Amino acid sequence: KIYPVILSGGSGTRLWPLSRAVLPKQLLPLVSDRTMLQETALRLHDRQHIQAPLVVCGNDHRFLAAEQMREIGIEPLGILLEPVGRNTAPAVAAAAHYLRAIDPAAVMLVLPADHVINNVDAFNAAINHAAAMVEQGALATFGIVPTGPETGYGYIRSGAAAAAPHCYTVDSFVEKPDRATAQSFVEAGNYYWNSGMFLFRADVYLAELQKFAPAIAEATATAVGKDYRDLDFCRLDEASFTACPSDSIDYAVMEHTKHAIVVPADIGWSDVGSWSALWEVQQQDGHGNATRGDVYLDDVSGSLVRAESRIVAVIGVKDLVVVETNDAVLVAHKDQVQRVKNVVDHLKTKQ
């Protein structure tokens, strides 16, 4: 049985001013009329072997997450609440402990709540390709053909064909290389981007974690063990989870494990990490503009224009990002939107 584990943490600072700590991008309707969390939960909902999802989110977001699941009529297996963010290795570990207690043979499908996948059938096929090897103890990654030397992704160097069709061994996994290294990976050709989605058995993940980051495996075991369940939520114990080291699954496990495989996945994937990434996945008009809300455009092309609370008029420009909210406005060149996170850093220093 495959249990989706939906990671709904993080605050998406590069999508400021829409994405905020109180209402981060995964809880917003960014690409469609449904929120990213809802899209993620619905994506594989009706597929065979796929169980109800386990949502992992910050304590502050519990009511929003629960309400959004109710709205789409999906009853989650549980909503695990983190008292503080400790990055993905602990979040996945807590989910693994929780699932293993319910089903010792549980297979987890780790899904970030803020990704877009346009070809769901292809994704479902990739999951099925990985399933047999995962049962045997492999940790499966889904590899995306790189389109450029992005430094914000993990790179997977694929090796020989593995035991199952469409699966390859992983020669190495390099999380967030510098620009020059990323460039050499793209030129070499046998590298994929790590999509940040994983398929593995809960017990296998915990065994690997115990090997490479025992403090995380142990702290999260205590945090889940002490959970008390109220009506809708499962709270992780505050003291032990807060004491857990913070690390990503990529650095803590994937860079070290010998049991990784990669399934190349041509699935129309985007992690919608920035305004330009959102512009790419959104529906565009004949001039390459992606708009939302009450906007007026005259002689505008290649732009993303978003009005939340007022009319926004844009005239005679190209390749701009204009995002209006009721207390902040962003105007940026579409090629410079990576710098939006500096605005958030700046605002934090002013608080």
Q: Kindly list the residues in this chain that would bind Mg ion in the complex (CB under 5 A).
A: 271
Q: Could you say which residues in the range 184-203 bind ligand GDD, by CB under 6 A?
A: 193-196
**To which residue do tokens 């584990």 refer?**
5
Give the DSSP letter string of 144-205. Answer: E--SS--SSSEEEEEEEE-SSTT-EEEEEEEES--HHHHHHHHHHS-EEEEEEEEEEEHHHH
Q: Residue 149, interface with ligand GDD (CB under 6 A)?
A: no
**How is residue 304 written in tokens?**
């993303």
Closest distance of CB 303 from ligand GDD, Å: 24
Binding site partner of 4, from Mg ion, ligand GDD, none, Cβ cut-off 5-8 A by kind: none
d(CA 173, CA 195): 12
Binding site partner of 53, from ligand GDD, Mg ion, none, Cβ cut-off 5-8 A by kind: none
Q: Residue 68, interface with ligand GDD (CB under 6 A)?
A: no
Q: Residue 78, interface with ligand GDD (CB under 6 A)?
A: no
Give the DSSP letter string of 110-124. Answer: EEETT-EES-HHHHH
Asked whether 38 and 49 are in contact (CB, 8 A), the reply is no
| Phi, psi angles (nearest 5°) of residue 262 | -125, 135
Which residues share a beta bridge with 67? Answer: none
Q: Could you say which residues in the range 84-143 bind ligand GDD, by CB under 6 A?
A: 85-88, 91, 112-114
Q: Could you say which residues in the range 13-52 bind ligand GDD, by CB under 6 A?
A: 26
Query: Out of 2, 7, 30, 297, which residue is the one contacting ligand GDD (CB under 6 A)?
Result: 7
Closest distance of CB 296 from ligand GDD, Å: 34
Residue type, position 117, single letter = I
Query: Out of 18, 57, 260, 281, which residue is the one contacting ligand GDD (CB under 6 A)?
Result: 57
The binding site for ligand GDD (CB under 6 A) comprises 7-10, 26, 56-57, 82, 85-88, 91, 112-114, 153-154, 175, 193-196, 250, 271
